[in-house]
Structure 1
């Protein structure tokens, strides 16, 4: 998923006027704060462990939580395909 964001001149802090955002497979730092309610990685890790969310600590010291794990745990749709009946024909029969 891609979207473009136009930054008004009054908010330009030296960034490009236009940049693209991509949805990552892991939660962003902001999303992790929103999910856990904590800003410190150590507090976030405790919260994630208590609530059963799997995570790893990256080489940068930041927690990595798969977006799919969170969506699945919170009841989001993961693009699961609904199984449909399959037609099986016996040998020699035509549909």
Structure 2
């Protein structure tokens, strides 16, 4: 029997990487605004979401889950303290 975990990855919003999060890390996501302390993402391309926009504050983590082998879909945003207490980072695979 194999031990498996869902493929999710994270990136911390540092105030300078909003475009990277929307355009490279996540799929089908648009930056509505990014003032260096608050990032607003539009997820209208996600038909299953009940909320179209998410606000991410500097220091929070954006968590994405794998979607059909493509870039990640938005999964959640998590404050740093919650991220550190609820998630364990695995070593990267070769």
TM-score, normalised via structure 2 length:
0.27
The structure that is helix-richer by fraction is 1
Which structure shows the higher strand fraction?
2
Q: Which has the larger radius of gyration?
A: 1
**Normalising by structure 1, what TM-score?**
0.27
